[in-house]
Chains A and B, each alone.
Chain A
Amino acid sequence: MRIGILKAYILKEMNELVRSRLIIMVYLLPTMLLLLFGYGIRMEVTHARIAIIDNDQSHLSNLLTSKFEHSKYFDATTTFMDEGEALRKIKQAQSDAIIIIPAAFEKRLLKGQTTQIGIYVDAAFPSRGSTMESYVQGVILNAASGLIPNATNGSIVINQRTLFNQAMRDEDAIVPGLIGLVLLVAPAIIAALLIVKEKERGTIFNFYASPLTKAEFIAAKLIPVFLLHSLNIFILLLWALYLFEVPFRGSFWLYWVASEFYILVSISIGILISVITKTQIVAVVLTVMVTIIPGFMYSGIIMPISSMVGMSRYEAHVFPVMYYNHILYDVFLVGEGLASEKTQLYLVILALYGVILLGLGALWLRKEIK
């Protein structure tokens, strides 16, 4: 590596990025994505629209209805329509669940006979369907056990302790994962076009003809994007801490170092794509394919890695987002830091990941016409 040449080339690349207004995108894109998703994604089910058909109109049924009306999870309305009409409401996606309280509900309960409460849940959105089902059952069982005297005798009390996210805030669970997604997508998409753009325009021949080595060429392409995106590490951290008020329990240095590694990995993915593709469109689609979708799927936001089985478990281990997000959740919520062996291992894997990808990129990059 000859420093002087490298500096000149980096300067040229930097100029191009600034001139093509890409510099705005470098900083606009990550922030925009974080804000949109941070406010837009909710895993918890709240405000589920529930229609309660109360055929009994008694004291007890009112008690039950009011339990639903006072829950933050439901927007309950009591109606008097018949079942067919209520079903149609669900079909039109205007209602998420129906609860049917039968006539003579109170009478039977007081006599000690078993009564049935019917619940119809819209499961077209499966996970929401099951979650709503368990919430509704929880409310009913809760109300029912409140009516039974001596419930504490010979019973088991559950003493639960929620770790890492005591308040069960959705922001705390989602925003760290989003940083992992954003820092994977944004650098990769810029890097992916850097080389293939020259191929499509024909300016790559300058490189073929020049005495520049492959390593210098890749370094010159990589360093400007790397430096520009390094700033995003801090911007995103500030948003997370001050806008979303996510706690930060771990070490700042770990966050910084891991993020730099991760950006390097992300850019290497982009450069590798840029090396193997022939046209920009293929590079764009390929980058979207290997970053956005896996970045979201395997980020741990929607499904913990420990719950994955089969193909997706392997795939999760192939993509870098899993390793980085483990560290992210650690520094934000867990606070174990490098004391955990797993974190150490994952940090090493991230670094290796970047080195291997860059190596492959350098290996496959051609410096002559086929």
Chain B
Amino acid sequence: MIRIFWSIVGKELIGFIRSWQLVLVVLYMFSVEVYIAGSGIEINPRNVAVGYVDGTAGGLSQKILTHLHGPEFLAPRRFNSQSELSRAIFDKEIIVGIVFDEDFEKKWRQNKRAQLDILMDATAASQAYTTLNYLQHIILDISKINIPVDIVTHKLFNQNADNHTFMALTELLSIITMLSIILTAVVFVREKEQGTWDLMLLMPVNPKVIILAKSFSQIIVVMTGIVISLGFVVLGIFNVPVNGSLSAFLLLSFFFVFAGSGIGLFIAAIARDVMQVAQLSIVIMMPLIFLSGAWTPIYAMHPVLQYVSFISPLRYYIEGSESIFYRGTEWIDLWPYFLGVIAVGGVMYWIGFRKIGRLF
């Protein structure tokens, strides 16, 4: 039994390595893709492009503008007229436009109400909001008003709200989801397509062993990728803080990849060829990834989707991983995530297992 199991695992692994294109693509995803996402993508309002029209002599207006500096803002760009400024906003080159009209400073000096006109491209809502907030702060600072309240903010777990480590991690988790599903599904469907799957099931070997071994081989591939990616990119380049236990993460990952290959099995059972696998896995994967809470927190979603997300193993995996890496949650408090991944994953694997193992 054990010997058969391992020889099938070995056969699949050799098959994987022989396809150098596939090895290359998988390696690329686990390394370069994670790196690009981590180094380039910024959800935080950073480098907001600001433009301004200054009709004043430039004392107070420059004082306000000097407060808009990196990393949140690009150096403000000067425009000669309001129409030029709005042209740039319409072309999406500028997100926030500030207009200092001619008597802006005069009114302020005379202790009258001075008005600052601001144009915002609201399609970049969060950037616009943050800029507005900044400007309010700056103006409060300048306005000589004393507010006797001191706000002391502590950002927990990620003091600088550094997005790079977070994006790298999110990307890694998405890639794990994708590959564990697709690789498993294709390994089975390829046999189906070539007509060898029925032969496999008819062999004098317990089909359960075959299914287990075949999916296990893909779990090994993905787990290897995780270790490589963790070592070289996530921890090596981005220095993601590990406040919790790394072994907890690896264990959680293992269960999750198992769940993913369960979904892959399920897809393989339904699909007849790789074309259908591709379609089905996208239909299943994209909601899994984007509705998992990595992009939008679950409780902010439409109520129906909140319930749906309970059956997504990725939901538990992402929350669990965030807790392990950033919040440094102890083992004992991690049990909901383990339970979630194992329960949902177990059910999915079982369904897929039953479905694909049936001959007729």
Interface residues of A (CB under 8 A from B): 20-22, 25, 28-29, 32-33, 36-37, 39-47, 49, 87, 90-93, 108-109, 112-131, 133-134, 136-138, 140-141, 144-145, 148, 151-166, 168, 170, 172-173, 185, 189-190, 192-193, 197, 200-201, 277-282, 284-289, 292-293, 296-297, 300, 302-313, 315, 326, 329, 333-334, 336, 340, 342
Contacts of A113 in B (CB 8 A): 148
CA distance A131 to B72 in the complex (A): 13
Contacts of A121 in B (CB 8 A): 153-156
Chain A to chain B: the 6 pairs with minimum beta-carbon distance, closest first = A312-B40, A165-B122, A124-B326, A280-B274, A123-B155, A127-B43
- Residues 313-339 of B, flagged 1 when their CB comes within 8 A of A and 0 if not, give 000000100110111110001000000
CA distance A284 to B263 in the complex (A): 17
B66 within 8 A of A: no
Interface size on B, residues (CB 8 A): 120
- Which one of B88-96, B196-204, B246-254 contacts A? B88-96
Determine if B90 and A336 form an interchain contact, defined as CB atoms under 8 angstroms apart: yes
CA distance A152 to B139 in the complex (A): 12
Determine if B128 and A117 form an interchain contact, defined as CB atoms under 8 angstroms apart: no
Determine if A119 and B151 form an interchain contact, defined as CB atoms under 8 angstroms apart: yes
Determine if B186 and A36 form an interchain contact, defined as CB atoms under 8 angstroms apart: no
Contacts of A159 in B (CB 8 A): 115-118
Contacts of A193 in B (CB 8 A): 274-275, 278
Determine if A280 and B328 form an interchain contact, defined as CB atoms under 8 angstroms apart: no
A-B pair number, CB within 8 angstroms: 375
Given contacts A40-B296, A112-B148, A312-B36, contact A130 B161 (CB under 8 A): yes
Nearest-neighbor residue (CB-CB) of A140 within chain B: B151
Q: Which one of B95, B127, B135, B305 contacts A36 once the chains associate, using CB atoms below 8 Å?
A: B305
Determine if B148 and A161 form an interchain contact, defined as CB atoms under 8 angstroms apart: no
Q: Which one of B129, B149, B273 contacts A131 once the chains associate, using CB atoms below 8 Å?
A: B129
Additional 16 contacts, C-beta under 8 A, given A189-B279, A190-B279:
A39-B302, A42-B300, A45-B300, A47-B300, A114-B150, A125-B297, A125-B322, A126-B161, A141-B136, A158-B132, A163-B89, A192-B278, A280-B186, A284-B274, A289-B33, A296-B290
CA distance A124 to B182 in the complex (A): 29
Given contacts A130-B44, A160-B120, contact A43 B290 (CB under 8 A): no
CA distance A295 to B161 in the complex (A): 25
Determine if B150 and A90 form an interchain contact, defined as CB atoms under 8 angstroms apart: no
Given contacts A22-B276, A302-B43, contact A156 B142 (CB under 8 A): yes
Interface residues of B (CB under 8 A from A): 19, 21-22, 25-26, 28-29, 33, 36-37, 39-49, 74, 89-95, 108, 111-130, 132-133, 135-137, 139-140, 142-145, 147-159, 161-163, 166, 171, 174, 178-179, 182-183, 186, 190, 193, 272-279, 281-283, 286-287, 290-291, 295-297, 299-302, 304-305, 319, 322-323, 325-329, 333
Contacts of A130 in B (CB 8 A): 44-45, 130, 155, 161
Nearest-neighbor residue (CB-CB) of B190 within chain A: A281
Determine if A173 and B143 form an interchain contact, defined as CB atoms under 8 angstroms apart: no
Can you report 30 A-B residue pairs in the complex whose CB atoms are below 8 A from each other?
A25-B276, A25-B279, A40-B301, A40-B305, A42-B301, A43-B126, A44-B300, A114-B148, A123-B326, A126-B43, A126-B158, A127-B126, A133-B153, A137-B151, A158-B116, A158-B132, A158-B139, A161-B117, A161-B119, A164-B122, A165-B125, A278-B21, A279-B21, A284-B186, A284-B278, A285-B29, A292-B282, A303-B41, A310-B40, A342-B92
Q: How far is the CB of B271 from chain A (nearest CB, A)?
A: 10
Secondary structure call for the B interface: helix
Contacts of A168 in B (CB 8 A): 122, 125
Nearest-neighbor residue (CB-CB) of A197 within chain B: B275
Q: How far is the CB of B76 from chain A (nearest CB, A)?
A: 13
CA distance A92 to B320 in the complex (A): 10
Contacts of B26 in A (CB 8 A): 285
Given contacts A156-B142, A329-B92, contact A117 B41 (CB under 8 A): no
Q: How far is the CB of A108 from chain B (nearest CB, A)?
A: 8
Contacts of B33 in A (CB 8 A): 289, 293
Contacts of B111 in A (CB 8 A): 153-154
Determine if A307 and B47 form an interchain contact, defined as CB atoms under 8 angstroms apart: yes
Determine if A118 and B301 form an interchain contact, defined as CB atoms under 8 angstroms apart: no
CA distance A33 to B117 in the complex (A): 39
Determine if B130 and A134 form an interchain contact, defined as CB atoms under 8 angstroms apart: yes
Determine if A41 and B290 form an interchain contact, defined as CB atoms under 8 angstroms apart: yes
Determine if A41 and B122 form an interchain contact, defined as CB atoms under 8 angstroms apart: no
Determine if B277 and A284 form an interchain contact, defined as CB atoms under 8 angstroms apart: yes
Secondary structure call for the A interface: helix
Q: How far is the CB of B15 from chain A (nearest CB, A)?
A: 11
Q: How far is the CB of A266 from chain B (nearest CB, A)?
A: 14
Q: How far is the CB of B192 from chain A (nearest CB, A)?
A: 12
Contacts of B91 in A (CB 8 A): 340, 342
CA distance A116 to B329 in the complex (A): 29
Q: Which one of B92, B119, B135, B158 contacts A304 once the chains associate, using CB atoms below 8 Å?
A: B92
CA distance A149 to B100 in the complex (A): 27
Nearest-neighbor residue (CB-CB) of A172 within chain B: B123
Q: How far is the CB of B168 from chain A (nearest CB, A)?
A: 12
Determine if A303 and B150 form an interchain contact, defined as CB atoms under 8 angstroms apart: no
Contacts of B122 in A (CB 8 A): 162-166, 168, 173
CA distance A137 to B133 in the complex (A): 9
Which of A156, A160, A326 is most buried by chain B, counting CB atoms within 10 A of its CB? Answer: A156
Determine if B154 and A43 form an interchain contact, defined as CB atoms under 8 angstroms apart: no
Determine if A126 and B95 form an interchain contact, defined as CB atoms under 8 angstroms apart: no
Contacts of A311 in B (CB 8 A): 36, 39-40
Determine if B301 and A91 form an interchain contact, defined as CB atoms under 8 angstroms apart: no
Determine if B120 and A123 form an interchain contact, defined as CB atoms under 8 angstroms apart: no
Determine if A124 and B157 form an interchain contact, defined as CB atoms under 8 angstroms apart: yes
CA distance A192 to B150 in the complex (A): 58
Q: Which one of B22, B89, B116, B163 contacts A156 once the chains associate, using CB atoms below 8 Å?
A: B116
Q: How far is the CB of A351 from chain B (nearest CB, A)?
A: 20
Q: Which one of A22, A90, A160 contacts B275 once the chains associate, using CB atoms below 8 Å?
A: A22
Determine if B118 and A160 form an interchain contact, defined as CB atoms under 8 angstroms apart: yes
Determine if B152 and A116 form an interchain contact, defined as CB atoms under 8 angstroms apart: yes
Contacts of A140 in B (CB 8 A): 149, 151
Nearest-neighbor residue (CB-CB) of A313 within chain B: B40
